[in-house]
Copies of this chain bind each other. A is one copy, B any other.
Amino acid sequence: MIGKYTEELLRENQENFIVPAENVATLLYSHPLEHALLILSKVGYAKIPVLDTEDRLVGLIGLSDIVNKMMGLTGFDYRLLEGLTVADVMEVNVPTVLHKEDLEDILHLLVDGSFLPVVDEDNIFEGIITRKEVLKSVNHLVHELERRYTIEPKSVPLKNK
**Chain A interface, number of residues (Cβ within 8 angstroms):** 55
- Of the candidates B46, B107, B135, B161, the one whose C-beta lies within 8 Å of that of A139 is B107
* Chain B residues, Cβ within 8 Å of A67: 37, 40-41, 63, 67
A135 to B153, CA, bound (A): 24
A75 located at the interface, meaning its Cβ lies under 8 Å from any Cβ of chain B in the complex:
yes
Residue of B at shortest CB range from A133? B111
Flag the segment in A17-25, A92-100, A140-148 that touches B: A140-148
Q: Is the CB of A4 within 8 A of B146?
A: yes
Q: Is the CB of B108 within 8 A of A139?
A: yes
A10 located at the interface, meaning its Cβ lies under 8 Å from any Cβ of chain B in the complex:
yes
Residue of B at shortest CB range from A107? B139
* Chain B residues, Cβ within 8 Å of A4: 146
Q: Is the CB of B154 within 8 A of A152?
A: no
A3 located at the interface, meaning its Cβ lies under 8 Å from any Cβ of chain B in the complex:
yes
5 new A-B pairs (CB below 8 Å) besides A131-B131, A149-B153, A152-B152? A5-B146, A42-B68, A148-B153, A150-B153, A158-B161
